[in-house]
């Protein structure tokens, strides 16, 4: 069974900001993958950026 959860309005806003900031539709990977590998660790949103479900489930990344 696929795990589902609802995202808060705050998280949705952060997701939208990150997608607008770091997603390149011509680059490889999904938008979540591209944001997950964001190199801007000093960004205030870095800890809250969206990540892929694969790594979220493994606990490899914080979000």
Check binding of 46 to ligand SF4 (CB under 6 A).
Answer: yes
Burial class (CB within 10 angstroms; exposed 0-12, middle 13-18, buried 19+) of 49: buried
- Distance of alpha carbon 55 from alpha carbon 41, whole angstroms: 18
Check binding of 18 to ligand SF4 (CB under 6 A).
Answer: yes
Check binding of 40 to ligand SF4 (CB under 6 A).
Answer: yes
- Using CB under 6 A, pick the residue from 43, 55, 56, 61 that binds ligand SF4: 43
- Distance of alpha carbon 15 from alpha carbon 12, whole angstroms: 5
Binding site for ligand SF4 (CB under 6 A): 17-18, 21-22, 35, 38, 40, 43, 45-46, 49
């Amino acid at each position: 069974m696929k795990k589902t959860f609802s995202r808060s309005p705050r998280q949705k806003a952060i997701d939208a900001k990150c997608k607008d900031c770091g997603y390149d539709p011509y680059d490889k990977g999904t938008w979540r993958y591209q944001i997950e590998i964001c190199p801007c660790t000093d960004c205030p949103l870095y800890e809250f950026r969206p990540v892929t479900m694969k790594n979220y489930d493994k606990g490899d990344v914080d979000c």
